[in-house]
Amino acid sequence: MPFLLPQLDLPVNQDKILQSLIADNLVSDPESARGRLLREAARLFRDKGYERTTVRDLAAAVGIQSGSLFHHFRTKEEILKAVMVETIRLNTAVMQAAVNAANTNREKLRALISAELESINGQTGEAMAVLVYEWRSLSEASQAEVLKLRDLYEALWLDVLNALKRDGALVADPFIVRRMLTGALSWTVTWYRPERGGLTREDLTDQVIAMLGLSSK
Amino acid sequence: MPFLLPQLDLPVNQDKILQSLIADNLVSDPESARGRLLREAARLFRDKGYERTTVRDLAAAVGIQSGSLFHHFRTKEEILKAVMVETIRLNTAVMQAAVNAANTNREKLRALISAELESINGQTGEAMAVLVYEWRSLSEASQAEVLKLRDLYEALWLDVLNALKRDGALVADPFIVRRMLTGALSWTVTWYRPERGGLTREDLTDQVIAMLGLSSK
DNA sequence: CCATACCAAGCAAGCGCTTGGTTTGTAAAC
DNA sequence: GTTTACAAACCAAGCGCTTGCTTGGTATGG
């Protein structure tokens, strides 16, 4: 399957990937007016939900009047869509790089799990939570657009899981495992607090691998 | 730990449990005006989200005027809370019965997984989805109330998982496994469609057990 | 007779978004 | 090097509508 995003050098350099995407106009520069708004929007949408977040909240978060928002975006929903689209673009590129950097299928899966945990609980965490939990606030037309991008992302996982199934390392169905992992990993956003508590992201990755019965064998 | 809900006969009879809870005034009769409203509210809250669901929507769903709602509930939020509280009461009782009906710890875990999948994807599915995904729409005071009930529910899981850990059947940390399972199982509501597709609930339970490396050994 | 359940009407507040006009950054024209 | 031109970015004000909820009154069943 052809993959259109640029292939990047190893090891995974998240900042380099970001710069590349900004250059291609696929993601907004976080320091631009648009980028700052999207980051604040992601935070507000996650904290209060899309519906409870008003355009006045969004405007206040970046220090402008509510009406001025509509100079940058035609509707409030367009802001939500932009958060989702840019997030999924960035994360697909990062995950792709993580997979490329790994050698065995086991390592690839570990890289995917670790990278997704980082996506969910790191810098892009707010936006990832929005992507997962505000899905139904998007119009159907927008859902279809985002879904196409999401399919690319999911293909990364399924390739690796299918390979592990062929190897005999995985017993359960790859589709189902991926769906279970989607739920399990995205749910960490509700309870995992790496800053207070000894569990590092790598520890958590180990736990997931152990849960799947794939520990270092 | 004392458990205050009534212990019921085996095998698990969901209807009997429901009748018992209705008698104790812990859950509304689904055929009463209040019960019908709560069922419709759960459906609407899940489909459109709490915020997008208006009191006019809720009233129309049971065929009354919007103002008349406030004869039964003081605020819209009280409706959300009632949906959550009654759902968690019912499901705790059902799960408790399911655990009691099983003999080994492996069977108990299987019963819990199967029962939670039933809760999420069966009759009470709408309400369970609301319980999971509309949490932040509750005021903090209400959250604290519901949290107490949820702790009872979670204790059921942790007892079984801790026992499996002691047996050596489980490698990963019980707390983490439970949280992963919470995410994974509740996420099924977004993709699992038992009616169209060969995968039965028992099949899905098998897959989860297989994923955990606990298959019939 | 009276509480319970409801209706018809509408209020105050907040919502997304529009409008008309002003400031600001930039770059060519002189 | 100042002037002119012009679009992008923003403000102040508010419109039209929907929201959760209230009010005063009317059926209905025991």
Q: Domain map of chain B by residue range?
A: 21-27+76-211
Q: Which nucleotide is nearest to B72 (CA to C1')?
A: C5
The per-residue DSSP string of chain A comes to ----SPP-PSSP-HHHHHHHHHHTTSS--TTSHHHHHHHHHHHHHHHH-TTT--HHHHHHHHTS-GGGHHHH-SSHHHHHHHHHHHHHHHHHHHHHHHHHH--SHHHHHHHHHHHHHHHHHSTTHHHHHHHHHSGGGS-HHHHHHHHHHHHHHHHHHHHHHHHHHHHT---S-HHHHHHHHHHHHHHGGGT--TTSSS--HHHHHHHHHHHTT-S--
Q: What is the pLDDT of residues B156-178, one digit of tens each?
A: 999 999 999 999 999 899 999 99
Spell out the SS3 assignment of B4-22. CCCCCCCCCCHHHHHHHHH
Chain B contact for A203 (CB, 8 A cutoff): no
The spacing between the Cα labelled CA in B81 and the C1' in D26, in angstroms, equals: 31
Closest among A77, A79, A97 to A21, alpha carbons compared: A97
Nearest-by-Cβ selection for A180 from B48, B211, B213: B211
Q: What topology does CATH give the domain A14-211?
A: Tetracycline Repressor; domain 2 (1.10.357)
Q: What is the pLDDT of residues A124-172, one digit of tens each?
A: 999 999 998 899 999 999 999 999 999 999 999 999 999 999 999 998 9
Pair of tokens at residue A162: 């299918």
Chain B contact for A171 (CB, 8 A cutoff): yes
Q: What is the pLDDT of residues A179-217, one digit of tens each?
A: 999 999 999 998 999 887 789 999 999 999 999 887 764
**Is it the case that residue A121 has pLDDT exceeding 60?**
yes
Q: What topology does CATH give the domain B21-27+76-211?
A: Tetracycline Repressor; domain 2 (1.10.357)
Angle between helices B105-121 and B201-211 (to 10 degrees): 130
Model pLDDT, residue B25 = 85
Residue A22 contacts residue B110 (beta carbons within 8 Å): no
Chain B contact for A91 (CB, 8 A cutoff): no
> Is residue A12 very low, low, confident or very high in pLDDT (cuts 50, 70, 90)?
low
Model pLDDT, residue B188 = 94
Q: Return d(Cα A109, Cα A157) in angstroms, integer.
A: 8
Residue B194, SS3 per DSSP: coil
pLDDT average, residue stretch B68-91: 94
